Amino acid sequence: MTPSSLPLLTLYFDGGCPVCTREIGFYQRRRGADRIRWINLAQCEDSDLGADLNRVAAYARLHARWPNGQLVSGAAAFAALWQALPAFNLAGRIAAQPGVVHLLEWGYRGFLKVRRLWRRENVACSIPERTTKDEAA
């Protein structure tokens, strides 16, 4: 792979959640989406997750991995996604700022509480009730 063909980001999303899938579909149609490696948790192998991400944690929150291997989740994963897409780059850089990302994280955690109501039951793995403090970071 040449440097220009390497993914800017790897994004792990819950393909069993209709709302999540619809939103990811929106991003996948944007310019620059071909530079993102999209991992649908409902269809991937455990080896696609990497050594530092397990399936339970991956289903619990949106995760993104930068090319240097750094894994981020929640609002920080959205900020990373937005930074990787040209149309959302400025919003992503703003969202990544400490005060902003904490506010967005608060909203994201609220979304997670209702998300389980929308999730399809036919996906093999279930969303965990709670995550540890380390996984929530």
pLDDT one-digit tens code per residue, 6-29: 678 999 999 988 888 999 999 999
Q: Which residue type, as a one-letter code, is found at position 83?
A: Q
Residue 5: what pLDDT?
60
The residue among 123 and 66 whose pLDDT is bigger is 66
Q: Are 13 and 40 in contact (CB under 8 A)?
A: yes
In this predicted structure, the answer to whether residue 129 has a pLDDT above a threshold of 70 is no
Residue 24 CA, distance from chain mean position: 9
Reported as type and span, the H/E element at residue 64 is: strand 63-65
**Token output for 109:** 């955690």
Any bridge partners for residue 38, and if so which? Answer: 11
Q: What is the dihedral of CA 95, 49, 40, 136, to 10 degrees?
A: -40
The pLDDT assigned to 16 comes to 86
pTM of the model: 0.80
- For residue 117, the tally of other CB atoms under 10 A from its CB is 8
pLDDT tens digits, 86-116? 999 999 999 999 999 999 999 999 888 887 7
User: What element of type H or E holds 56?
Assistant: helix 55-60
pLDDT of residue 6: 65
Instruction: Look at 135 and 65; give whichever has higher pLDDT.
Output: 65
Which pLDDT tens digit goes with each residue over 28-69?
999 999 999 999 999 999 999 999 999 999 999 999 999 999
CA–CA separation, 70 and 130 (whole Å)? 23
* Residue 119: per-residue pLDDT: 62
State the pLDDT at residue 131: 44
Res. 78 pLDDT band, cuts 50 70 90: very high
Residue 25 near residue 11, CB atoms below 8 Å: no
Residue 26: which H helix or E strand, with range? Answer: helix 18-28
